[in-house]
Amino acid sequence: MITDTMIFLQLVLTTPWQGDDPTPLCHPVLPRLERILNHLCIIKEHTLLRLITEGFPACWDPQVSIKDLHFDGVPVRIYLPRKPSASKQRGVVFIHGGCGIFGSIRTYERVCRYIARKSDSVVVSVGYRLAPEHKYPTQTLECLTATEHFLKTAETYGVDPARVIVCGDSVGGTFTTSVCQELGQRIDIPKIRAQVLIYPFLQALNFNLPSHQKNAAVAFLTRERTVHFILKYLDKDCSLKEPILAGSHVPENINLKYRKWINPDLIPDVFKMGYKPPLPALFSPQTHKEVPELFEPWVSPLLAEDAVICGLPDTCIVTCEHDVLRDDGLLYKKRLEDNNTRVTWHHVEKGFHCSLGFFGYGIFSFPSSSTIMNHVVDFIKGY
């Protein structure tokens, strides 16, 4: 997700950071730089982020043939293994992260090629249009459109429609599971075979779970930046950040209703070391009224009804220890298991949010980038 320029900046701004400890990466300069540029109106924050996450172009790939297409109007890039295949192949729809406001097909070029090569699958990377120019839920709708189109036309690309997997990281994981929740209810198109959720964002009700508390200041995605980005994504006033962080946007009846799914008590003890329950938040009807989207399943897939969860395909969830969103993944895992969905779970001890974005960048890659990538490829190869 965060590549070249970011790596360069990190290199310049930080003390030794190779290895797998994200703490030295936690540098206040970049957000501050963004803020200054933003205030000066030189460049918008999301414009800068788009720029630095574009990445270097990758070289020609002898093993994968690459084409840019449109699926019902949605830009996609398709990666076809050149090696001839006797039978129909597996398909993988890849939905990139970047909070819905940055990131692109190009950002994940190396990731998609690797999946195509190593798992011998036809990969479709979805270039959904970004917020805030294209308002929520354009992003989810375009991911749905592209996936549906691929399921219907799979055979054109030599793909078996019964072997299509959807995979995404961060908010791409949110979109992935929304696609699976929606299409799981449909009987007129082939069923998605499996979903892969790499450190997904899954709920906007509680930002005081143990992982939020523990990793509040960890690199790339702090607790504050999480809410800041959600507000940007939904094109809301960023002054809502503080009350949302405190939980003031959630009325008591909603808290009671969803306690069975979003609750620190559901997090295993090993992940709760040092956790202190926060003081109860004072409800602010004003804040609640401003952000109704936070309670919709397309922003908070953890709130989907049981009937929807029961329709989900086999699932692989990757969580990282140094990630504010770790507990979103853990809570979703529990929900899926309670509703008899098969879950393969990989917890990456040294991983952090955005690890995958460094994959394929040689010495700038992290060991956890490869760990995540290989867990994903191994899971995909099982279908």
Ligand X SMILES: *[C@@H]1O[C@H](CO)[C@@H](O)[C@H](O)[C@H]1NC(C)=O
Q: Any idea which residues carry the catalytic annotation?
A: 170, 323, 353
Amino acid symbol at 100: G
Should residue 266 be labelled a site residue for ligand X when binding is judged by CB under 6 A? Answer: no
Q: Give the CA radius of gyration of the chain.
A: 20
Query: Which of 14, 38, 47, 339 lies at the binding interface for ligand X (CB under 6 A)?
Result: 339
- Residue among 303 and 372 whose Cβ is closer to ligand X: 303
Q: How far is the CB of 164 from ligand X (least distance, A)?
A: 25
Should residue 338 be labelled a site residue for ligand X when binding is judged by CB under 6 A? Answer: yes
- The one segment of 8-16, 160-168, 241-249, 333-341 that binds ligand X by CB under 6 A: 333-341
Q: How far is the CB of 24 from ligand X (least distance, A)?
A: 40
- The one segment of 3-11, 21-29, 177-185, 334-342 that binds ligand X by CB under 6 A: 334-342
- Residue among 38 and 339 whose Cβ is closer to ligand X: 339
Query: Which of 15, 87, 156, 340 lies at the binding interface for ligand X (CB under 6 A)?
Result: 340
Q: How far is the CB of 121 from ligand X (least distance, A)?
A: 31
- The one segment of 70-78, 178-186, 223-231, 332-340 that binds ligand X by CB under 6 A: 332-340
Q: Is 19 left (phi over 0), alpha (psi -120 to 50) or beta?
A: left
Q: How many residues bind ligand X (CB under 6 A)?
A: 7
Is residue 54 within 8 Å of 7, Cβ to Cβ?
A: no
Query: Which of 65, 306, 349, 381 lies at the binding interface for ligand X (CB under 6 A)?
Result: 306
**How far apart, in whole angstroms, are the C-alpha atoms of residue 332 and residue 22?**
25
- Residue among 335 and 346 whose Cβ is closer to ligand X: 335
In the block, tokens 């078996």 appear at 160
* 221 three-class SS: coil
Compute CA distances 208 → 22, 132, 241, 281, whole Å: 21, 26, 13, 11
Residue 207 tokens, joined: 């930002």
- The one segment of 156-164, 201-209, 286-294, 338-346 that binds ligand X by CB under 6 A: 338-346
Compute CA distances 306 → 186, 326, 335, whole Å: 16, 22, 9
- Residue among 130 and 267 whose Cβ is closer to ligand X: 267
- Residue among 302 and 380 whose Cβ is closer to ligand X: 302
Three-point CA angle 55, 58, 61, nearest 5°: 155
Should residue 256 be labelled a site residue for ligand X when binding is judged by CB under 6 A? Answer: no
**How far apart, in whole angstroms, are the C-alpha atoms of residue 241 and residue 291?**
11
Q: Which of residues 144-203 bind ligand X (CB under 6 A)?
A: none
Q: How far is the CB of 28 from ligand X (least distance, A)?
A: 40
Query: Which of 63, 67, 310, 349 lies at the binding interface for ligand X (CB under 6 A)?
Result: 310
Q: How far is the CB of 173 from ligand X (least distance, A)?
A: 20
Is residue 108 within 8 Å of 96, Cβ to Cβ?
A: yes
Should residue 38 be labelled a site residue for ligand X when binding is judged by CB under 6 A? Answer: no
How many CA within 13 A on the CB side of residue 311?
A: 17
Compute CA distances 164 → 90, 115, 289, 369, whole Å: 6, 13, 39, 24
Q: How far is the CB of 260 from ligand X (least distance, A)?
A: 6
Q: How far is the CB of 339 from ligand X (least distance, A)?
A: 4
Is residue 160 within 8 Å of 89, Cβ to Cβ?
A: yes
* 214 three-class SS: helix
Question: Which residues of this chain interact with ligand X, rule CB under 6 A?
Answer: 260, 306, 310, 335, 338-340
